[in-house]
Amino acid sequence: MSTDNGNKKELLWQSRFSEPFDREALLFSSSVDVDKILYQEDIKGSIAHVTMLSEEAILPVEEARMIIEGLEDIEQEIASGALVPDWEEEDIHTVIENRLKEKIGPLAGKMHSGRSRNDQVATDTRLYLKRIINELSNELEALKQLLVEKAESYRHTVIFGYTHLQRAQPISAGHYYLAYFNMFKRDSERLEDLLKRVDISPLGAAAFAGSTLPLNAKRSRELLGFGALFHNSIDAVSDRDIIIEFLSACSVIMMHLSRFCEDIILWSSTEFNYLEISDAFSTGSSIMPQKKNADIAELVRGKTGRVYGDLVAVLTMMKGLPLSYNRDMQEDKPPLFDASKATVSSVRIFTKMLAHTKLNEERVAMLTAEDLSLATEIAEYLVRKDLPFREAHRITGSIVSHAITSGTPLPSIPLETYKGFSGLFENDIYDALKPEASVNAKRSHGGTSFASVDEQIRVAKEMMRDR
């Protein structure tokens, strides 16, 4: 126990030192306010380690039982709020071991036999990542399911497709929702692939070189439910690639959400008025009563920058570290936990918000029927008449200029005027200038025709069932 300069809590590493750790230095280095989130993983890892020690006759069975029962009690105490971690105990591992010592005496120290905080932290982190990846994957599944439902509901609704934020061509709204489905499908696949590298037990690597005790690392792996075991003890405690990969995956997910949010923010504005967000997911203004703001979408868009910052923080932290463990690595937890919380909550709230949006079908039908975005249909009409595309493009550009200067929508231009641009035009040009006809003409693989969208929906549903 260190009491000379105010420290009342025992630090697990302090036995070698002759004077107490400076109080301000302890405050600076304490991580318990951050890593307390790992208490369940830490106790699970300790129970597995103690069970293995007992099975290998490194620890008597009765002593193992007392330690395990004490740890299970402590888990309940923390969960109920009866035990509140204290920053003076440096980290959650110290909190748990000190509390165990209060309950069962010096026997608590045997829990750490053959184990270092290095492989203990690495184990906790991997257990946490397994849990949070599963949680995030479930949220993505819910979002993908909703996108398929939206695609099915609006598969015959024609909206504008955009390039350069300019109206480009009419498309099926279902095609639009399925584009985001494919983005989030890849996000799910990234998490699934990452899980293979996360699902590796580092317990038994000790500080970094292994242990002289006859540890059974394979048994620890089995008890913790890991799919594989570390191959190199140095790498086991010094690897933070899995955190970087996870933060990278979170960054891509948030980027996809942010792009979707940008569409929603624009499309819900008065200027666009393509869709409406439920009042339950909108806010107003404290000074302008008429305002209806897409604040949830804006907040998700804003949190994307935070998650990017979390990724850069860990990349920067790791770039100059020699092998094996360095205390810098303690700083991986704040960005990991911040990005986890931000990404999971963003996917969850975005899904709820999206479920409470609806397209303004009357408005988009009116706009697409009269818009210049049908110009490509004129060019392709001429191509089907065996005119070279570049010449068809030039003629169509002249027709568009006429439509703009005369204020006449393309479908309203008289046939005689069309013939003035090219003798290839006939009455069937008006069939091509219907938004639905434009959409259904896009029959190429993965295109926006209603039949293609129906097929994409079928495939998406099949993917969802196969998970």
Q: Which residues contact 416 (CB under 8 A, 6 or more apart)?
A: none
CATH of residue 78:
1.10.275.10
Q: Is residue 15 part of a domain?
A: no
Does residue 393 sit in the same domain as residue 435? yes
Does residue 251 sit in the same domain as residue 337? yes
| Upstream peptide bond of 54 is cis (omega within 30 degrees of 0) | no
pLDDT at 398: 96
Does residue 278 sit in the same domain as residue 413? no
Spatial distance between the Cα atoms of 283 and 151, rounded to a whole number of angstroms: 27
Q: Is residue 10 part of a domain?
A: no
269 bridge partner residues: none
Spatial distance between the Cα atoms of 224 and 49, rounded to a whole number of angstroms: 9
Q: 117: part of which helix (H) or strand (E)?
A: helix 117-153
Question: Chain-centre distance of CA 341, in angstroms?
Answer: 10
pLDDT at 12: 59
Does residue 239 sit in the same domain as residue 158? yes
| Residue 285 among the catalytic residues | yes
Each residue's pLDDT expressed in tens, for the chain with a length of 467 residues: 333 334 456 665 566 666 777 777 776 777 788 889 999 999 999 999 999 999 999 999 999 999 999 999 999 999 999 999 876 677 898 899 999 999 999 999 999 999 999 999 999 999 999 999 999 999 999 999 999 999 999 999 999 999 999 999 999 999 999 999 999 999 999 999 999 999 999 999 999 999 999 999 999 999 999 999 999 999 999 999 999 999 999 999 999 999 999 999 999 999 999 999 999 999 888 888 888 999 999 999 999 999 999 999 999 999 999 999 999 999 999 999 999 999 999 999 999 999 999 999 999 999 998 888 889 899 999 999 999 999 999 999 999 999 999 999 999 999 999 999 999 999 999 999 999 999 998 899 999 999 999 999 999 999 999 87
Does residue 50 sit in the same domain as residue 163? no
Does residue 194 sit in the same domain as residue 302? yes
pLDDT at 1: 31
Looking at the 3D structure of the chain, how many domains does it have?
3
Does residue 298 sit in the same domain as residue 353? yes
Does residue 341 sit in the same domain as residue 379? no
Q: Is residue 225 part of a domain?
A: no
Token pair 């069309």 in the structure block, residue: 418
Kindly list the distances between the CA atom of residue 293 and the CA atoms of 273, 300, 334, 455, in Å, as whole numbers in the listed order: 13, 14, 31, 36
How much is the pTM?
Answer: 0.90
Domain boundary among 92, 113, 134: 113
Residue type, 358: K
**Contact predicate 97/12, CB 8 Å:** yes
Could you list the residue range(s) of the whole structural domain that residue 240 is in?
Answer: 118-205+231-365
Backbone φ and ψ of 53, nearest 5°: -60, -40
Does residue 107 sit in the same domain as residue 138? no
Q: Which of 196, 150, 195 is nearest to 172 (CA)?
A: 150
Q: Is residue 467 part of a domain?
A: no
Domain boundary among 48, 79, 113: 113
Residue 225: helix, strand or coil by DSSP? coil
List, in sequence order, the alpha helices (H) in 327-425: 333-355, 361-370, 375-384, 389-406, 415-421
Domain boundary among 113, 142, 171: 113
pLDDT at 388: 96
Among candidate residues 18, 80, 164, 445, the one labeled active-site is: 164
CATH of residue 142:
1.20.200.10
Instruction: End-to-end CA distance of the chain: give it in Å, rounded.
Output: 53
**Contact predicate 262/301, CB 8 Å:** yes
pLDDT at 22: 75
**Contact predicate 133/192, CB 8 Å:** no
Does residue 358 sit in the same domain as residue 380? no
Does residue 58 sit in the same domain as residue 155? no
Q: Is residue 1 part of a domain?
A: no
Does residue 361 sit in the same domain as residue 375? no
pLDDT at 136: 98
Q: Is residue 422 part of a domain?
A: yes
Q: 242: part of which helix (H) or strand (E)?
A: helix 241-267
Q: Is residue 262 part of a domain?
A: yes
Among candidate residues 278, 285, 398, 406, the one labeled active-site is: 285
pLDDT at 17: 64
Spatial distance between the Cα atoms of 163 and 364, rounded to a whole number of angstroms: 17
Token pair 């792996």 in the structure block, residue: 221
CATH of residue 410:
1.10.40.30
Backbone φ and ψ of 3, nearest 5°: -130, -15
pLDDT at 14: 66
Q: Which residues contact 412 (CB under 8 A, 6 or more apart)?
A: 370
Cα dihedral across residues 364, 369, 374, 377: positive or negative: positive
Q: Is residue 11 part of a domain?
A: no
